[in-house]
Structure 1
Amino acid sequence: MSTARASDRLFALLQRCLPTRLLSLCMYRLTRVRWKPFKNLFIRVFMRGFGIRLDEAIETEPDAFVDFNAFFTRALQPSARPLAPAPALLSPVDGTLSQFGPLQAGRLMQAKGHDYDAASLLADAADAARFTGGDFATIYLAPYNYHRIHMPLSGRLSGWRYIPGRLFSVNASTARAMPRLFARNERLVAFFDSDQGAFAMVLVGALFVGGIETVWTGAVTPPHHRGPPGDLQRPTTPLALQRGDEMGRFNMGSTVILLTTPGLVQWSHTLQGAQTLRMGESLGQAR
């Protein structure tokens, strides 16, 4: 049974009526305004509202960022996120672990009372079949989190697919109330091969997420497209990324879903839902 409250259902209903693409495009433009009085005030109000400090960042002066997006996607000092020793499977982001566990019959848990199938999430049944019997972890990035996305394992990029979709919020309230939320929203799926097995990183867009980027394509969105899923793209030259390397970023916050093939990971016995994670922490052992 779903745990959605009346307020959750009302919020989900409201989002269905909102021009979410237009709102997200407006946010994209606002976050790139370079007029100093505006962007400095925007940054300082945001920092105050979410209790953000810059002591871990490379740039520690709020007014030094060229625009709000540069502040939001700020780089951290190398020592700020130490990596758990190999063979740990690393958390790819700072965030909250909303769900994790096995892909039972190829389905992922979204929230109590809601699950969805990997084929819908990846927009391809054959790709999803590779992960049947494997595992998944869903990590939500709140506005106050660090918003660069890193590699959980060393891997070689085998392909990626952009999937147009809606731009609903991905917070816990919407996840409780809206079925198949992550399979509805715009997303980018990146597939990697590693020495331990294959894994996929799903970067889910959301309301006010002004853009998704990867290190090999640059900006993927905007524009926010409509229509069927894109074809699987393959790298023209080999691309290998080491565990802990940056692989992408969100311009505003969202969710990352990690999928692994059967037997790749043994989850840590201390891991639990709603746990706060930092990039580089161990999720379990890669085998």
Structure 2
Amino acid sequence: MSPSRLFSLIQYPLPHHLLSRLVGRLAECRLPWLKNALIHAFIKRFEVDMSQAQEPDPSAYPTFNAFFTRALKADARPLGDGVLCPADGTLSQFGAIEAGLLLQAKGHRYAMADLLGGDTVAARRYLGGSFATVYLSPRDYHRVHMPLAGTLTEMVYVPGRLFSVNAATTAHVPNLFARNERLVCHFDTEQGPMVMVLVGAMIVAAIETVWAGQVTPLSGQVQRTRFDRPIHLERGAEMGRFKLGSTVVMGFAEPVDFADMPLGGMVSMGQTLGHLATLRQGRRGQAPSGEDGIPLGMHR
């Protein structure tokens, strides 16, 4: 048995939420000697470049979480053109949404409807569109930004497990992103619907948004929040952050050309991921006649 397979199997019986909450308390500790020890150990382990930070002194942060979600200098992440990368990390997968399915890893696909908390109506908007998945790198910037300008229409909290989302786990745990706790954020853009899914993971203590503050951890059932007053975010604007790192899955109703992007390559917030194809008249939001295009057996 491979080490990555063994690592994924070990995670199944673990108390994911309990471990994450304990780590979250530690990350919010304000004892100077402890939080400084954690911060300096992290910087050394992951070779963090503090020269890009708005506050370059590690000891100036009141908690480990404040350090982890640190702001950068204004010119640290220039914006490219087209569809922007939302965060620093690894571009783990990208491509077309085929028959309502997204690629998780070689041999593993999962349904857009499952990712969106069982919402088959919302999933239809993305038939024939594109997706991209960014795994946030521990060493880099941990705020999440808008790939396109958009107006928030709905936020959906979906409860779930908290498996690790690293490469070893994505290769061996089926439907990983549709199993984990996540926050689904629906936007209207000039280029059609866009969804940003912030996926929780092992030891990710919380997910925050700029419009609602800290949203997770929650528990129980799917919780939907509609926004009657428009919340508009410009392209490149911050939309959320992870307290400890995780993954962002983006869905676009229109096809995106990712021609120059290396699969598995390192990416930075603000760089160009690709360019949207020409809008096709009448396609957006229409389901194929007689069925929704989502394979049977793939919904929860």
Aligned equivalent of 1:270, options 260, 282, 296: 260
Pair 1:204 & 2:194 matched: no
Distance 2:83 2:254 in 1: 14
Pair 1:117 & 2:111 matched: yes
Runs of 4+ aligned structure 1 residues displaced above 6 Å come to none
Instruction: State the one-letter code of the partner of 2:86.
Output: P
Distance 1:257 1:58 in 2: 27
Cα offsets for 1:111-133 (capped at 9, x unmatched): 10111000100011111111111
Aligned equivalent of 1:183, options 164, 174, 178: 178
Unaligned segments of structure 1, at least 5 residues? none
**Structure-to-structure mapping, 1:10-49, within 5 angstroms:** 10-49=6-45
Residue of structure 1 in register with 2:124 after alignment: 129
Instruction: State the one-letter code of the partner of 1:266.
Output: D
For 2:196, what is the secondary structure of its paired residue? strand
Instruction: State the one-letter code of the partner of 2:90.
Output: T
Residue of structure 2 in register with 1:237 after alignment: 229
In the TM superposition, residue 53 of structure 1 has moved relative to its aligned partner by 1.9
Instruction: State the one-letter code of the partner of 1:91.
Output: C
Distance 1:8 1:111 in 2: 13
Distance 1:53 1:44 in 2: 12
Aligned equivalent of 1:228, options 212, 221, 226: 221
Distance 2:112 2:276 in 1: 21
Contact kept in structure 1, 2:191 and 2:254, CA below 8 Å: no
For 1:177, what is the secondary structure of its paired residue? coil
TM-score (norm 2): 0.90
For 1:45, what is the secondary structure of its paired residue? helix
Distance 1:175 1:142 in 2: 15
Distance 2:126 2:257 in 1: 15
Aligned equivalent of 2:276, options 268, 273, 286: 286
Distance 1:142 1:283 in 2: 17
Distance 2:2 2:87 in 1: 31
Distance 1:94 1:189 in 2: 20
Cα offsets for 1:156-212 (capped at 9, x unmatched): 111110000000000000000100000000000001111111100000000000100
Residue of structure 1 in register with 2:94 after alignment: 100
Residue of structure 1 in register with 2:242 after alignment: 250
TM-score (norm 1): 0.94
Distance 1:165 1:50 in 2: 29
Cα offsets for 1:206-235 (capped at 9, x unmatched): 00001000011100112x41x33223x111
Unaligned segments of structure 2, at least 5 residues? 278-300
Residue of structure 1 in register with 2:298 after alignment: none
Residue of structure 1 in register with 2:212 after alignment: 217
